Chain A
């Protein structure tokens, strides 16, 4: 079975602080894909990143960075110099590389950036 755990239910920081959102996953597959989505108050899930299990290189996109550690089954997301517009619920998700195409989501982390 596949499972994604986001242990942090809510995080609140002051603007310009760095913040890391944790994601731990479980799967018996040797190949799989990991995702992060952002859900602002409007409700629509916005795709942020996809990572193939073969590729353990960390990725940086502007103020966002992702740390994939296959040895600890973690795929953490860091926002540097946070801004109020980063306030949202963030979901980590897992998808098999073969078979079922569904996304398995964690419970989400609600991030609040205070001015």
Chain B
């Protein structure tokens, strides 16, 4: 079956540009997560949606980062005025429900390079 997909897989942006990263979760999955993975590090939580509601955005590093999931399925992570420290792999994950006993299934990630 189809897993979590993300697009684009690679993105190069010049410093100051805005970028939008897309996540298509597994069909029917209620919960959706975004994580940021810097080179050589573990993923770090950015934000969490249950359906269209953004229940936790405590991990967003600044107000330049914005995420939405307007219809409760596809999600977009937007980064405004990109900076070099934003260079990382952005991982999206979905789970069928929001409870802690449900696995999060990860997509392949979008590698963002800011030059």
A interface residues with partner B (beta carbon < 8 Å)? 4, 6, 32-33, 35, 37, 42-47, 50, 52, 91, 93, 95-98, 100-108
Contacts and interface: CB of A to CB of B under 8 A. Distances in A.
B72 interface: no
Interface in B52-105: 55-56, 58-59, 89, 91, 93, 98-101, 103-105
Nearest to B31: A101
Nearest to A32: B100
Given A45-B91, A47-B105, A105 B42 contact: yes
Interface in B13-71: 31, 33, 35, 40-45, 48, 55-56, 58-59
Contact of B41 (A45, A103, A108): A108
Interface of B: 31, 33, 35, 40-45, 48, 55-56, 58-59, 89, 91, 93, 98-101, 103-109, 111
Nearest to A110: B40
Contacts of A45: 43, 91, 93, 106
Contact of B56 (A4, A93, A101, A104): A101
Given A91-B42, A100-B56, A105-B43, 11 more contacts: A35-B103, A43-B111, A44-B109, A50-B103, A98-B100, A101-B55, A101-B99, A102-B33, A103-B35, A104-B45, A107-B40
Contacts of B59: 102
Contacts of B98: 101
B43 A47 contact: no
Contact of A44 (B31, B101, B103, B108): B108
A33 B33 contact: no
Contacts of B40: 107-108
